[in-house]
Structure 1
Amino acid sequence: MNTDRAFLVIDMQQENGFQLHDLHRVIDNTAALINALRHAGIPVIYTRHINAVDGSDLPPGEPLDAAGRPLSYCAGTCQVAIMECLAPRLGDRVIDKPRYSAFHRTDLDQQLRELGVSRLIVSGVLTDACVLATVMDAFALGYRVDLIADACTSTTEAAHNAALLIMANWVYALELFSTAQFLKRLVGEPHQSCRPTEPDQFAHRPEQFVATIARLQTMLGLPRRNQE
């Protein structure tokens, strides 16, 4: 088994409390990545965000319902189950986490080091919350990260892209791919990606946001999209 890399699938759960942009595309891309990486012998690790039913141990201000239960990712409900079409198989690992980062109060770092993993392939939701926090912590802990941009999403395309720019600007151990380009790389074919080479590489003024995203999409081999 190839154990210098692992695929981390972040929070692809049945949570239905909010709409996610272009989720069907993200599901399809994630499924393609899972199949290819399993075939390549690369471990697949899923995370599940789970909040205690009684609302205990939540960060300050976490939204609650009238009964004091968490509004999202509530333990014991279908919200926390991984989507059936992406369900783990025998041999896959599942990490349950109480906060955005998959490293916070979990044994993910220990499991990765026991596997000999030094590079994480990352996809999932939400780009501007759990994905962002996990990538930042992975960087701080010394991992290299391959982030699959079109296998991540958030509530809006703008939020998704803003998070991509933050990571591209400041996570120096990061390489960004589209799904198609990453799958080419996996089998040794010519491919393109975005590897940050300097701090604040995608610095921009507010009115330049759409043009800056278009520049990143071009580097990733993705079609340019109109931003929300």
Structure 2
Amino acid sequence: MNNKNALLIIDMQQEDSFVLENFDAVVSQTIALLHTARHQRVPVIFTRHVNPADGSDLPHGEPLAEDGGPSTYRAGTRQVEILESLTPHADELVIDKGRYSAFHRTDLDARLKSLEVETLIVCGVLTDVCVLSTVFDAFALGYRIRLVSDACTATTQAAHYSSLLIMTNWVYSLELLTSAQCSKALENRGYLSLAPEHPDMFAHQPHELPGTIARLQANLVRTQE
């Protein structure tokens, strides 16, 4: 088993309250990456965001339905189930969480340590919320991180790319790579990735944001050449 890596697929659920950019492409790229991970016997872990149906133990300000329960990711509904095209195998872990980070009040860290995982491959939704929170916690816990740029998305491309920039600036153990390059890495073939060369590598002022996103995109395109 290739147990130095594990694939973490974050919150790829039926919940349809958010319109996500390029979601169909993200699903397709996740399916391809999942196929490679399974073929290479890389441990696969899914997370589901699940809010208690009765509205208990919700963060302050969590959007509520008329009955006082959560308006999204409500336990017991179809919306919390993982997409059928990504259905977990019987031997794959599914971890339910009630907060953004996959590590918050879950046994994910213990599970990874029991598998002797050193590098966490992260994909899923939303880039600027659950993915971002999970990546920072993984970094704090000492994991190396491969973040799959085209197997994540958010409600806007601005949110997606801004989050990629933040993580590339400050998660020193991070490799940013595409799903195709990540599959090559798992197959022990030559691959290309973007790794931070120094802190705040993509520093920018507000008026420079579009150009900085373009610079990040250009670096990612070069990793595929």
- Asked whether the two chains share a fold, i.e. TM above 0.5, the reply is yes
Q: CA offset at residue 180 of structure 1?
A: 1.7
After superposition, give the CA deviation of every residue in 1:49-83 in whole Å (9 maximum; x if it has no partner).
00000111000000001110101100000110000
In structure 2, what is the equivalent of residue 212 of structure 1?
212
Q: CA separation in 2, counterparts of 1:189 and 1:111?
A: 27
C-alpha distance in structure 2 between counterparts of 1:182 and 1:213, whole Å? 21
Conservation of the 8 A alpha-carbon contact between 1:178 and 1:222: no
Matched with 2:194 is 194
| CA RMSD after TM alignment | 1.3
What is the letter of the counterpart of residue 150 of structure 1?
Answer: D
Contact 1:5–1:119 (Cα < 8 Å) also in 2: yes
| Structure 2 unaligned regions, length at least 5 | none
* Structure 1 residue 77 corresponds to structure 2 residue 77: yes
Q: State the 1:222 CA deviation.
A: 7.3
How far off its partner does 1:216 sit? 1.3
Given that 2:6 and 2:120 are in contact with CA atoms closer than 8 Å, whether structure 1 keeps it comes out as yes
Distance 2:79 2:52 in 1: 12
1:206, CA displacement in angstroms?
A: 1.6
1:197 Cα offset (Å):
1.7
Residues 128-149 of structure 1: CA deviation (Å, up to 9, x unaligned): 0000000000000000000001
Question: Quick one: which amino acid aligns to residue 54 of structure 1?
Answer: D
Q: Is the 8 A contact 1:181 1:221 kept in 2?
A: no
Cα distance in structure 2, aligned partners of 1:38 and 1:217: 29
* Structure 1 segment 86-105 matched on structure 2, within 5 A: 86-105=86-105
* Distance in 2 (alpha carbons) for counterparts of 1:129 and 1:215: 23
Alpha-carbon spacing, 1:111–1:188, altered in 2? closer, same or farther (3 Å): closer
Q: Cα deviation per residue 1:81-126 (whole Å; 9 max; x = unaligned)? A: 0000011012111000010000000000000000000110000000
- Report sequence identity in percent: 57
Q: How far off is 1:183 after superposition?
A: 2.0
Q: Is this contact kept in 2: 1:178–1:221, CA < 8 A?
A: no
| Distance in 1 separating the partners of 2:21 and 2:32 | 19
Q: Residue in 2 aligned with 1:143?
A: 143
Which sections of structure 1, spanning at least 5 residues, go unmatched?
A: 224-228
User: Partner residue of 2:153?
Assistant: 153
Q: From the superposition, tell whether residues 161 and 219 of structure 1 become closer, same or farther in structure 2 (CA, over 3 Å).
A: same
Counterpart secondary structure, 1:38: helix
d(CA) in 2 for partners of 1:178 and 1:220? 8
**Any conservation in 2 of the 1:194–1:216 contact (CA below 8 Å)?**
no
Give the aligned residue type for 1:86.
Answer: L
Deviation, 1:36, is: 0.4
Task: Give the aligned partner of residue 57 of structure 1.
Answer: 57
Matches within 5 A, 1:6-155: 6-155=6-155
1:4 Cα offset (Å): 1.1
Instruction: Write the letter of the residue equivalent to 2:28.
Output: D
- Counting only pairs closer than 5 Å after superposition, residues 173-192 of structure 1 correspond to structure 2 as 173-192=173-192
